[in-house]
Structure 1
Amino acid sequence: MKYRMNQRTKDKISILGVGSSCISEASEKEAVQALEMAVEQGVNYFDMAAGAAGCFSYYGKALERVRKNIFYQIHFGADYATGEYGWTTRLDTVKASLDWQLGQLKTDYIDYGFIHCLDEESDWNAYQKEGVLAYIQRLKEQGVVKHIGLSSHTPGMVHKALDTGLVDMLMFSINPGYDYQHGELANGSTSERMELYRRCEAEGVGISVMKAFSAGQLLDEKSSPFGKALTEYQCIQYALDMPGVLTVLPGIRGVKDMKRILGFLDASKKEKDYSVLAALTPQVTDGTCVYCNHCQPCPAGLNVGLINKYYDLARSGDALAKGHYEKLQKKAEDCIGCGHCDQRCPFHVKQTFKMEQIAAYFKE
């Protein structure tokens, strides 16, 4: 397992986590076995926006003994009083749901307490008016909530929450469909969504990724908006390559799903290569570096994708990006202009010209 650090909290988070939307469909025995397998393979981040109430006791049974080694992402606003997932901004209901969830999970603290499903201006107003936001802040002062986060599908609302300075972690829907303006939850343009990811990285706010497969639509040629199926591993790698992303949280139904997701760790670069997107979304992606490093290997030894990422982050206001760039063994100025990357880039980026731009920018 590989880990990435949340710069605001200093937590080291596994690049693969577990989402809980489907695990209630499994038996307790099956679910516990899958969760224990996840921990044994280094998974330490678990999202609790569950599809139904049943799975909370599964987590309590499977993970109580390793509680201090894992992180729970728990949502203030997700309600399971009916046995199925529900959503509320009523403070009394939020409190009751939270107490029940902690009891089922056999824990007395929350690693990441999330403002849940903040998609509309009215949601933000309700969470404040009903006192839910203040409640989360009080729990943080008491040490019950370690860090505050939010889940959303709307870039504009995320920016509004980030402006408060309260947010340490964001759960956001990231996949090629949404980023390239395909799907019901494809809120914001490609550039607006990328700007959000860059802001999160610049401010040290980690991103946990939901809907990496667009609820399975991207995995089926018939339902894919691109007319071609992508693989789980391509979607996971795509999300992990976005700025700010720490972990991807696929939903699992049992041991078979868990084994398959963990297979990403040993998959080849070819299996994870999502450069096929250039042919599927030419009007959106043409001329834009998405850091896929399909141009590798560089004859001069440059990490072209990483150089572009630090350049984009620096221009977005990331105070640390220039320092990261300066630590690279090979920088843009070391480009020999051979044109190898220009020929290989599936997104038709003129990287030799970009290297000149980037070198000049960091010399200023």
Structure 2
Amino acid sequence: MSVFCKIYFIIYSNFTKYFSTTKLTRISFNIVDSLTAEFDELTDWSKENIDNPWSFIKFRKKPLFKIDKNTVLPISNKLFKEQLFEGVFHKIRACYPDEDLKFNSFFGRPYEKYIEILMEKAKNSSGQNKYELIKEFEYDKDKKRSPDVMLKLGDQLLVIEAKSKRLTLNALEGNDHDSIEKAQEDLVLSPIKQAHDRIVEILDSNKKSVFQDIKSYYIAVVNIKDFPTLPPVEKEIKDKLEQHFQIPIKGFFHMDIEEYEMLCHLISRKTKRPIFSILDNRFYKYPGIPFSNFLDVSSLPMKRAEFIDEKGKEFLEIMKEKLFNEE
């Protein structure tokens, strides 16, 4: 049984009993209450939004339904999971004024570093495929920065652009065309164009030797939560990007961080085909489905790199020590 399933079962049964074994006993009610909605509250909200059937904002903010004083039930596993893990970001961000962007800047840099570390670990474990890792570097007299991390194999280059972004609530609800257009620009078009433009600039700079043997460029943008992948949308994205490109780009992709972790696992496998043949297959044969779905239909493993599992176990041990009353 997964950790999440255990949490689901415990909270449904009696959350006060569960928290009594932790160091959060005194504040456990406040923790759960901030995620809980009662029947009357949900009824009133539903009536107010009856003409907006795609709106789930209330359930996103409060994914637990209160049954009695000590018992709550998750309205949706997916929304509950989002609050448990992704909601932490928003709670920390809410501690700062809206106009204060310091936290966003702080969060972005470790995220970029995580992207780099994953690729480096994957490259070091890759066995027969002699990949070369190219980390971010400065170029030109203005000290511009290259894309976050790149992976080279022969005359092929995978360029990774990390963006710690996600869809806004308006875009998620799907009822605001302007928000959806902006999300497509922020999460897909702009980052891929940025990576392309950096390549073009580097080819005309004092660092052009980095790319001197490259014939095939691939660009991938990695977001916290990705923009939805749908066939008509992907065609629109493809048309817009190809109008912008000045150099041939053999493949371009957008994915979320979980899919990037799967990508790194594919790179890390020993005695397996190079990642570029897999990317070709994804770009030309399965352009209208998410990267994770492509792995599934292609019978490729949907796994995280071992490095992530190892760090996850370390984190759980730390949390167990901090939260539970164990000697």
| TM-score relative to the length of structure 1 | 0.26
Structure with greater proportional helix content: 2
Question: Which structure has the larger Rg?
Answer: 2
